[in-house]
Amino acid sequence: GENVGLHLPTLSVQEGDNSIINCAYSNSASDYFIWYKQESGKGPQFIIDIRSNMDKRQGQRVTVLLNKTVKHLSLQIAATQPGDSAVYFCAEKDAGGTSYGKLTFGQGTILTVHP
Amino acid sequence: DGGITQSPKYLFRKEGQNVTLSCEQNLNHDAMYWYRQDPGQGLRLIYYSQIVNDFQKGDIAEGYSVSREKKESFPLTVTSAQKNPTAFYLCASSSSGGNTIYFGEGSWLTVV
């Protein structure tokens, strides 16, 4: 079936470096993508989203890039800080779905930032 | 403060017992969801509800039941039929026509 997955399950970076977390999706009908951050023992927090009619969107220290040709999504975090250490999930929504907000999640990438 | 409140945070269940996890939201969202998360895994959808008095099964509904009698509330019952109930349970909600799902802080359920 269709799924959303991650290339790298873990990523370790030094404080101040830029981080890039990747996500591959296989459902070409997906029209909306979200990145979530989940700290240990807590619920996922919304970071940034992007619609399929865009290829880039920027937030505060974060940028999401969407390449529909190769069905690839990435999250870039600038000047990574120890507080950014968490699990990052990408999620996608099928444009043909009848249920608004019903998302399919990838497995997640563990980001560790070393001081 | 606006948000999604789950309770209890930690719950222990004996085998053969049913337990109910509470989820309340004051965001005036129409849709609510329950996800299950196992250690080191992603989120899997159990049930969702787009409107009061209506709900649909997600990908792993077996052994679970829900109700949606009020817009603000979407309790999840983990029944004795659920073979591996130990997990982290996340409640979420979204607005009508909205794509973004917002999550509560989760409830840990352990079978002892």
Name the percent of chain B in helix, strand, coil, to the closest 5. Answer: 0, 50, 50
Strands B107-111, B10-13: pairing is parallel
Name the E strands within A1-115. 4-5, 10-14, 19-25, 30-38, 45-51, 56-58, 62-67, 72-77, 86-94, 104-105, 109-114
CB within 8 Å: B43 and A89: yes
Taking CA atoms, what residue in B is nearest to A43?
B105
Task: Grade residue A107 by pLDDT with cuts at 50, 70 and 90.
Answer: confident
CB within 8 Å: A107 and B105: no
Read off the pLDDT of residues B55-74 as tens digits, 9 standing for 90 and up: 999 989 999 999 999 999 99
Segment B68-92 mean pLDDT: 95
Q: Degrees (nearest 5) of the Cα angle B44, B34, B71? A: 155
Task: Enter the tokens of residue B106.
Answer: 């989760």
Task: Grade residue B95 by pLDDT with cuts at 50, 70 and 90.
Answer: confident
Give A69 to chain B, closest Cα distance, Å: 23
What is the Cβ-side half-sphere exposure of residue B64, based on CA atoms within 13 angstroms? 26
Segment A42-64 mean pLDDT: 95
CB contacts, 8 Å: B103 with chain A: 36, 43-45
Give B10 to chain A, closest Cα distance, Å: 11
Read off the pLDDT of residues B34-50 as tens digits, 9 standing for 90 and up: 999 988 778 999 999 99
Least confident of A18-32, A93-107, B59-73: A93-107
Task: Give which of B101, B105, B108, B109 to mutate to test A binding, by max A Cβ within 10 Å.
Answer: B101
* pLDDT score of A96: 60
Task: Give which of A32, A103, A110 to mutate to test B binding, by max B Cβ within 10 Å.
Answer: A103
pLDDT above 90: residue A62: yes
| Residue type (1 letter), A12 | S
Task: Give which of B47, B100, B107 to mutate to test A binding, by max A Cβ within 10 Å.
Answer: B100
Task: Grade residue A2 by pLDDT with cuts at 50, 70 and 90.
Answer: very low
User: For all residues of chain A together, what is the average pLDDT?
Assistant: 87
Task: Grade residue A4 by pLDDT with cuts at 50, 70 and 90.
Answer: low
